[in-house]
Amino acid sequence: MAEEIARTASLSSSAIRSLSNDARVTALNRIADALRAGKDQILTANRTDLEIAEKTGVATPLIKRLDLSKGDKFDTMVQGVLDVANLPDPIGKVTFANKLDDGLDLYRVTCPIGVLLVIFESRPEVIANITALAIKSGNAVILKGGKESFHSFAAISNIVRDTLAKTDIPSGAVQLIESRQEVSDLLKQDQYIDLVVPRGSNELVRSIKDNTKIPVLGHADGICSLYINADADVSMAARLAVDSKTNYVAACNAIESLLVQRSGLESHLPAVAKALIAAGVTLKVTPEIATALDAVGVDTGGQEGRRVVVPADEQDFATEFLSLTIAVRAVSDVDEAIRHINTHSSKHTDTIVTSSQAVAEKFLNGVDSSGVFWNASTRFADGFRYGFGTEVGISTSKIHARGPVGLEGLTCYQYQLRGSGQIAADYVGAGGQKEFLHEQINI
């Protein structure tokens, strides 16, 4: 069964890659219209998933990820499909051209990766997001959602499947699977599947990486940090810390660690700590930070039945809390901040608050993460906010794609040589005397 699914996807990928951009855009526009028309049906199914999740004790961060009715999440999902449709065609772009000889021209041209296997937990909107990215980039995709989003998954997938049947997209270009066993079997289909994208918990990502030969694109943790230099604007630092931590605590781009320059503990720590505490955040602090808070009169006793400041241990600075908890410590300067982040972070996204361009440049160039920001919230690390339309996921690896992965990350390239009957034996290096021209072609 798994081999059949993978083979069908592979055959479909060969067909979809030859479709015009207009055909792919038409399909996406129809999907967006169908999702909008089916909003009530989808949200009803989503409420069923939420009720089951609450009854079965699903963790609060996962429930938040599951909820499609929260804020503008549904409308953002639909708009994401349209945004992808309106992006430039990523296929067929010439990125390098060289004239080897008269009538023998070499081109490097972008092309689809082929077949994607995308496995995700909780977030049912991922179905629409990934479908849009796969179709626009000319890839076939096999999707597996988590059991906690089963009803939402089914409602959205039925709409997508029924809509695609009325377009030029091959029927096997978007396939949906339900069981874990199918996932396990598909992870063995490296002959047909070109890339696996796991979106979910640390355990999910690590399990996928440990059980397949297929290249995996993703990240296991979102351990992000915010560093406040002593010359930072205090009010800016407080705003950025609160937004980076509390805007969406279950997100992989929420900060889990706060670093404050030691010379700024008296001037900056009080305002930032008070702002975080007021926002409901519990601070896990080193003894040095606890002493500094006491010295400046920050109330660390408790609030609304909870302790607002508790002791931290070293492991807290390598922990993805996914909750209103943050680890706080002091560092001597930007160099120590960089060393701390490169040692403890998951190489996702980290930010510095400073008024010094020189200090900022050192941080931007020294931190080895897929996203490094200056005076901006880590919550901007997102494909939609970057203008990618939406994203297939976040990659912290350094091969192929890094950071929010949109259309460009779902393409690779091939070399196309356009000749006029030349043979290698006539040229130097293959037995002949003819020299190559190797002249750059303007593109």
pLDDT of residue 281: 96
Give the pLDDT confidence of 397-436 residue by residue, as tens digits.
877 888 888 888 999 999 999 999 999 999 999 999 999 9
Stretch among 159-168, 172-181, 374-383 having the lowest mean pLDDT: 172-181
Q: Rounded distance, CA 246 to CA 323, Å?
A: 8
What's the one-letter identity of residue 166?
A: K
Asked whether the beta carbons of 29 and 213 are under 8 A apart, the reply is no
Please compute the mean of the pLDDT values over residues 79-99 and round it to a whole number: 95
Q: Quote the pLDDT of residue 300.
A: 65
Eight-class DSSP state of 296: T
pLDDT value of position 126: 84
CA distance 22 to 69: 32
User: Would you state the pLDDT for residue 148?
Assistant: 87
Per-residue pLDDT of 35-45, as tens digits, reads 999 999 999 99
Burial class (CB in 10 A: 0-12, 13-18, 19+), 262: middle
Q: What is the mean pLDDT of residues 101-118?
A: 96
Provide the pLDDT for residue 6.
96
What pLDDT score was predicted for residue 400? 80
* Distance, CA of 316 to CA of 234 (rounded, Å): 25
Q: How confident is the model at residue 13 (pLDDT cuts 50, 70, 90)?
A: very high
User: Could you tell me the end-to-end alpha-carbon distance of the chain, in angstroms, rounded to an integer?
Assistant: 45
User: pLDDT digits over 186-239, tens only?
Assistant: 999 999 999 999 887 677 888 888 999 999 987 767 899 999 999 999 999 999
What share of the chain has pLDDT > 90, as a percent?
74
**Arithmetic mean of pLDDT, 164-177:** 92
* CB distance 412 to 113 below 8 Å: yes
Q: What are 300-334's pLDDT values in tens digits? A: 666 666 789 999 999 999 999 989 999 999 999 99
Q: By C-alpha distance, which of 317, 252, 260 is closest to 289?
A: 260
Please write the tens of the pLDDT for every residue from 249-303: 988 999 999 999 999 999 999 999 999 999 999 999 999 999 999 887 777 666 6
C-alpha dihedral sign at 248, 270, 312, 374: positive
Q: Which two tokens stand for residue 57?
A: 């004790």
Whole-number pLDDT of residue 302 = 62
Question: Could you tell me which of 342, 395, 387, 337 has the C-alpha nearest to residue 370?
Answer: 395
More confident residue, 122 or 237: 237
Mean pLDDT of 177-183: 86
Domains of the chain, start order: 2-217+392-414 (3.40.605.10), 224-385 (3.40.309.10)
- Return the pLDDT at 10: 95
Residues in the chain: 443
* Structure confidence at residue 220 (pLDDT): 66
Indicate the average pLDDT of the chain: 92
59-68, 86-95, 231-240: which range is least confident on average?
59-68
> Dihedrals φ, ψ of 410, to 5°?
-100, 15
Lookup result for tokens 């089916």: 38
Positive or negative torsion for Cα 21, 24, 27, 29: negative
Lowest mean pLDDT among 12-26, 132-146, 377-391: 377-391
Instruction: For tokens 């605590």, name the residue.
Output: 249
**Rounded mean pLDDT of 171-196?**
92
- pLDDT at residue 2 greater than cutoff 70: yes
Query: Over pLDDT 70: what percentage of the chain?
Result: 98
Buried b (16+ CB within 10 A) or exposed e, 278-313: eebbbbbbbeebbebbeeeebebeeeeeeebbeebe
